[in-house]
A and B are shown apart, each in its own frame.
Chain A
Amino acid sequence: MQFEYEIEGGNFSRAGYASSEVKKRLRQLNVDLQIVKRIVVALYEAEVNVVAHAYQGKMIVEIDEKKILLVLEDSGPGIADIEKAMEEGFSTASAEVREMGFGAGMGLSNIKKNVDHLEITSEVGEGTRVEMITYMNKGR
């Protein structure tokens, strides 16, 4: 089963919309509540990253019995140094975005803590792809 949602860069009033739609779907599909709670954190952070940094993007969610695959792809400035971006507290967000309470440099570590697998690939000037996987039955 696969869903796809568009994300509009720069539009903060819509930030969280795609994540909220996915949350509803997962609930309808009776996905374990603890899994939904963790996924929602990772999804929202990834969605806000697209809104705050990119021009446009999409969220693709693929669910099967074993796992949930979440992919966020954007066209945007890309990330020059992914290792640096992963550091807690590091952010390139604008002053305006920070004033709203974003840009604390906690987003990617929130994602890392809440999914079982995270892979970020990026090309400067092109865009970024964030792939996350959560296993339905972790530890097996």
Chain B
Amino acid sequence: MKVSDLIKELGLTVHSGDKGLDKEITGGYVSDLLSDVMGNADTGMIWVTLQTHKNVMAISSLKDLSAVILVKGLVPDADTAAQSNTENIPILGTDDQAFEIAGKLYCLMNCQG
């Protein structure tokens, strides 16, 4: 599944990183603790978080994540969005809270039929 498919299926906003919308998603990780993501997320995952500062992009890039979803209508800081554009790692947005969007994501990727 591509990032663009998720956007369509879940009605997500694209905050930045439009050029990365073709990236494949291998799974997801939900956490607001940066070391937790650093230690446990894996290449190609989509990261659901409420953190909006620039280190979100540093981690996404170092871990080769596919995209970030900011929950509860949060928007990325200006320098976070700028780095997302440079790295082509999209930052997406939803009004849902983490539990809701994680549930929808999980089902989209795992519940067949």
Which residues of A come within 8 Å of B, CB atoms?
12-13, 15-17, 19-20, 23, 37, 40-41, 44-45, 48, 100-102, 104, 106-107, 109-110, 113-114
Provided the pairs A12-B53, A101-B33 are in contact, do residues A45 and B38 lie with their beta carbons within 8 angstroms?
yes
Residues of A within 8 A of B61 (CB): 16, 20
Residue of B nearest to A17 (CB): B58
Interface check B63, CB cutoff 8 A: yes
Within 8 A of A (CB), among B19-78: 32-36, 38-39, 43, 49, 51, 53-55, 58-59, 61-63
Provided the pairs A44-B38, A110-B35 are in contact, do residues A101 and B51 lie with their beta carbons within 8 angstroms?
yes
| Selected A-B contacts with CB under 8 Å, 20 pairs | A12-B55, A16-B58, A16-B62, A19-B58, A19-B62, A20-B61, A44-B38, A44-B58, A44-B59, A45-B35, A100-B34, A100-B51, A100-B55, A101-B32, A101-B34, A101-B49, A104-B34, A109-B39, A110-B39, A113-B39
Interface check B79, CB cutoff 8 A: yes
Q: A44-B38, A110-B38 are in contact. List 9 more A-B contacts (CB 8 A).
A: A12-B53, A12-B55, A13-B54, A13-B79, A15-B55, A16-B62, A101-B51, A104-B33, A106-B39
> How many A-B pairs fall under 8 Å by CB?
61
**Interface residues of A: mostly helix, strand, loop or mixed?**
helix
CA distance A23 to B62 in the complex (A): 8
Residues of A within 8 A of B54 (CB): 12-13
Q: Is the CB of B39 within 8 A of A41?
A: yes
Residues of B within 8 A of A102 (CB): 34-35, 55
Provided the pairs A12-B54, A12-B55, A37-B43 are in contact, do residues A104 and B62 lie with their beta carbons within 8 angstroms?
no
Residues of B within 8 A of A107 (CB): 35
Provided the pairs A12-B55, A100-B34, A100-B55 are in contact, do residues A20 and B39 lie with their beta carbons within 8 angstroms?
no
Residues of A within 8 A of B63 (CB): 40
CA distance A23 to B59 in the complex (A): 12
Residue from B38, B43, B49 with most neighbouring chain A CB atoms (10 Å): B38
Residues of A within 8 A of B58 (CB): 15-17, 19-20, 44
A77 to chain B, nearest CB (A): 20
CA distance A12 to B51 in the complex (A): 14
